[in-house]
Amino acid sequence: MALWNGKLTAIVLTAAEPMEAREYWAELLGGRADGDSVELGGGTRIVIREGSREGLAELRLDAGLELMTAAQHLGGDAQNGPLQLRDPDGWLLQLRGVEAVEPLTLGRVTLSHVTLNSPDPLRQSRFYGDLLFLLSDALGEFFFWMRPNPIHHSMAFAKHPAANINHLAVELPTRHDFISAIDRVTAHGLKLEFGPGRHLVGGNLFAYFVDRYGLRWELCAEMARLDPQHEPGRLTAEDRARSVNTFGPPPPTSFINEPGGPPPV
């Protein structure tokens, strides 16, 4: 399998006032407003569409030949352009077939990953495994971190009673940029829900906050890069507390129990 078999290039968010939301997210995350999108680094972006509520409508990936072939075997429809399919929880994926997936460069803030709550994260992990995502780490049958390239995770799935957003994430290129991003968030009058800290899984620095629309975001830096031969970590329930934060306090109840956004739009 190719080292870069796929890459998360965009998420599509809905908003009642798309242009207002675009300006807000661009300023909040350090991106650049461009048409219907917030342009981020590494060829990634956040696309905003009009909708009755703020939420996640679609995930877009560049896909190499092997990933595209796997998606077609799963029933993906490519008759009208990029291949589209829905995962078992109803999240819409759009895959753009490319001859070679361009590796992600971290010159500035980039789209990092999406973590989704699921009533059956094991089923989700098996579906994405069939899409040739590799398992990076698993916490029992409660949490799975998966990747289509060396970045530790582009998708993750957490046990929850309903399918909804856990969090959306952007990655900063350096620790200095990470701190500056936290300063930018607090300058918007927001407080961190959890962090700063460092996750054991992925090894990344993190800081979580909830924006004015009720969506939870993670700022991260120093995310691990893995080779294809990486053996997935298998964490137990006893590992859970220390895996969340290797320094600092444990997460608040809101972070554990409350979703970071609505079900699939």
Is 263 domain-assigned? no
| CATH code of the domain containing 131 | 3.10.180.10
- Contact criterion met (CB below 8 Å) for 205 and 197: yes
Q: Is residue 26 part of a domain?
A: yes
In a domain, 264, yes or no: no
pLDDT at residue 247, as a whole number? 85
Per-residue pLDDT reduced to its tens digit, 186-232:
999 999 999 999 999 999 999 999 999 999 999 999 999 999 889 99
Q: Does any domain span residue 59?
A: yes
Q: Note whether 200 and 243 are within 8 A (CB).
A: yes
Please state the pTM of the whole predicted model.
0.96
Whether residue 57 lies inside any domain: the answer is yes
Q: Where are the beta strands (DSSP E) in the chain?
A: 6-15, 32-34, 37-39, 45-50, 55-63, 83-86, 92-97, 110-118, 134-139, 143-147, 155-159, 164-172, 192-198, 205-210, 216-221, 233-235
Residue 126 lies in a domain: yes
Q: Please tell me the distance from the alpha carbon of residue 156 to that of residue 55, in angstroms, as a whole number.
A: 17
Tens of pLDDT, residue by residue over 44-75, are: 999 999 999 999 999 999 999 999 999 999 98
Q: What is the predicted pLDDT for the residue at 7?
A: 97
- CB atoms under 10 Å from CB of 18, counted, come to 16
Strands 192-198, 164-172: pairing is unpaired
Residue 197: count of CB within 10 angstroms of its CB: 19
pLDDT value for 76: 82
For the chain, what is the domain count? Answer: 1
Does some domain include residue 75?
yes
Q: Is residue 265 part of a domain?
A: no
pLDDT at 241: 66
- In angstroms, rounded to a whole number, what is the distance separating the alpha carbons of residues 70 and 130? 7
Q: Domain range spanning residue 37?
A: 6-100+109-257
Under-70 pLDDT residues of the chain: 1, 79-80, 239-242
Alpha carbon separation from 170 to 28, 46, 109, 248 (Å, rounded):
11, 10, 6, 21
Residue 110's contacts (CB-CB under 8 Å, 6 or more residues apart) are: 40, 41, 42, 44, 104, 170, 171
Q: Where are the beta strands (DSSP E) in 51-204?
A: 55-63, 83-86, 92-97, 110-118, 134-139, 143-147, 155-159, 164-172, 192-198
